Structure 1
């Protein structure tokens, strides 16, 4: 009975994570309530694998029909954005607008809630798409692209529960506050899954580089969030995912370039 309940809980968490992170119709039978997303935080890297799978599949198909790496990489990126519902891109844009355009804590949070995009947000999105596209175009080879996309989307999302566990919400309402604080075990499992994805994708020594890059990104963003708005929000979490995704894809491109030179 215990093992059955444990398995059912794992399946429910997986469905909750996929439903929260993507537009795929795999949500749990019961509506998600406060605390469910936090508890299921450990499964966010698994949801990231599905997003990476969509991008890898589109890249492989586009390559097979003869498209060059440039447009093929853009189609793969478009697939990941479509499957994820662009929620992290939206968070990045809102974070850039809020932190860059507001003078006070209250004004920064107000800007983040505004659905309109400003100059800082537009620049952040252009930078995000350009860096990710250029990394994929550099990698080019479909199998390497698949590995990079799997690892980038899994590892970037693995840091989200850790970030939520360490940094309190900046306000009492909103997406992050409603999700709740993940249990320490959930954050630890998510971190472990992200680290494992880096090991499987790049090897143990290079995986350490990925962990360091994601940790530095998290520390810098945490410092900005705490000093400017007093904590994290759903938008800031989205920005963290985007920064992590960019870092891992650039790392994959750099590692491939180094191997080719050797």
Structure 2
């Protein structure tokens, strides 16, 4: 039991290091299992990131208004997360936009560090929608909606690893945290992602869950058809799109 808890603590620490830019107060030497298990804790990292976003919205809104508060929350989230998932979305825009139907070309473009027109346009739309969505959240959801959207979207993206194989064969930044999620390693992110829904009204929670499931299914079909599996960029793009979809879904559901 102690060994299992220690193993999960190391996996959580690896998730913290991989999915954020926040340093740990102690130095750990992670092994391959730590990195592979880190993805199961990804939604818990999302809960923390969502809590930061919600706190900024709650505290800054009364001082400067919803628009500025949303901009501050968005900027801090990008800083703490290193824009990692947004970068994945931009790479997917370039890859799928410029690669046509050629799988190898798509993968090569996605790996290229240069930013193309498709990525620029896609990121402008993505960040603009997220900014506006955060600014439009009703007062009663300023804290909870970002937490629920961040956690559930990460759970949905992690769920792709249960039905798809990793599409790349060569070395890549995402390779250490890739694995085929099964059993406890799959149940953990799903449970963590759904946990914040318990604090939402039943209708809102069920609708949000349906949106996340639909996003997961569409992403799985798209990635399987175009790439034959998932990539780190694909997971990041899926997380970003589902997160925004959840925020947009919750806004009208909470309206009086």
Aligned position for 2:159: 162
1-structure distance, mates of 2:31, 2:84: 19
2-structure distance, mates of 1:16, 1:178: 11
Aligned position for 1:189: 188
2-structure distance, mates of 1:101, 1:255: 37
Q: Deviations over 1:44-73 (max 9, x none)?
A: 111111211222232233224x20111111
Match 2:99 to one of 83, 99, 102: 102
Aligned position for 2:226: 228
* Paired residues of 2:43 and 2:150 also in contact (CA < 8 A): yes
Aligned position for 1:8: 6
1-structure distance, mates of 2:26, 2:216: 30
Change (3 A) 1:107 1:148: same
Q: Deviations over 1:101-150 (max 9, x none)?
A: 10311111111011122122112211211221111111152x52111111
Moved more, 33-42 or 79-88: 33-42
2-structure distance, mates of 1:164, 1:178: 13
TM-score by length of 2: 0.91
Q: Is 1:90 paired with 2:87?
A: yes
Aligned position for 2:214: 216
Aligned position for 2:197: 198
Aligned position for 1:137: 135
For residues 59-78 of structure 1, what are the structure 2 equivalents within 5 Å? 59-64=57-62, 66-78=63-75
1-structure distance, mates of 2:104, 2:32: 25
* Paired residues of 2:54 and 2:143 also in contact (CA < 8 A): yes
Aligned position for 1:54: 52
1-structure distance, mates of 2:240, 2:93: 12
Moved more, 159-168 or 232-241: 159-168
Number of aligned residue pairs: 253
Moved more, 99-108 or 36-45: 36-45
1-structure distance, mates of 2:25, 2:13: 5
Change (3 A) 1:29 1:85: same
2-structure distance, mates of 1:223, 1:239: 14
1-structure distance, mates of 2:123, 2:73: 16
RMSD: 1.9
2-structure distance, mates of 1:205, 1:178: 38
2-structure distance, mates of 1:31, 1:228: 37
Which structure 2 residue ranges, 5 or more long, are not aligned? none
Change (3 A) 1:27 1:231: farther
Aligned position for 1:148: 145
* Paired residues of 2:10 and 2:30 also in contact (CA < 8 A): no
